[in-house]
Amino acid sequence: MTKVYSTVVVIIPPKEIWGTIQDIRKKYDRHIHRWMPHITLLYPFRPQSEFTKLESLFTVVCKEINIFEICCNKFKFFHHGKQNYILYLDLEPENLITNLQHKILEIVPDCNDVSLYKSGFVSHLSVGQIEGNDRLKSVLKKIQNNWNPLKFKITSIYFIAREKEKLSEFKIKKEITLK
């Protein structure tokens, strides 16, 4: 099967909580105009031409998963080579998102790229890229001290896609609701 980098399966937080996330992303995320706030589940994913067929398979699995609530209490980071870091919101409880990801991965087992990292799949919501260890420490301290934890319910997953041009914006193409 074919995988493409222009499609993704994600969780998108409700728009009413985007404000504080987007305020941080405006300062630190060079991809803010390309991606909405999201939690990646499968990437790369299948071409849009397969979405209709896959939607029915995903719907069956998602109808077995209860809606659940997650909390974003703190910021963490991934080391991304040399002194480059990806800053993200940690999601709790992580196991609920991980279980969801594992169940949908059974439908398209070759779309497992986000599970192939040394630490495996880590649910997270990226908010920026930081260069330099000292800057990372400073930014983490600043945003964490000013952060009010967010809670929201996961009610759906989404197939999103963009045009093949490198800088095109991802848009929602399919929404699949949980039980």
- The answer on pLDDT for 117 being more than 90 is no
- The answer on pLDDT for 22 being more than 80 is yes
- The answer on pLDDT for 164 being more than 90 is no
Asked if residue 14 has a cis previous peptide bond (ω within 30° of 0), the answer is no
Which superfamily does CATH assign the domain made up of 7-177 to? Cyclic phosphodiesterase (3.90.1140.10)
Cα gap 28→128, rounded to integer Å: 5
Cα gap 161→145, rounded to integer Å: 35
- Tell the residue number behind the tokens 């404000």, with chain if given: 19
- The answer on pLDDT for 165 being more than 90 is no
* Proportion of the chain above pLDDT 90, given as a percent: 93
Confidence tier at 52 by pLDDT (50, 70, 90): very high
Three-class secondary structure of residue 44 per DSSP: coil
* CA 177, chain centre distance (Å): 17
Confidence tier at 61 by pLDDT (50, 70, 90): very high
Mean of per-residue pLDDT scores for the chain: 96
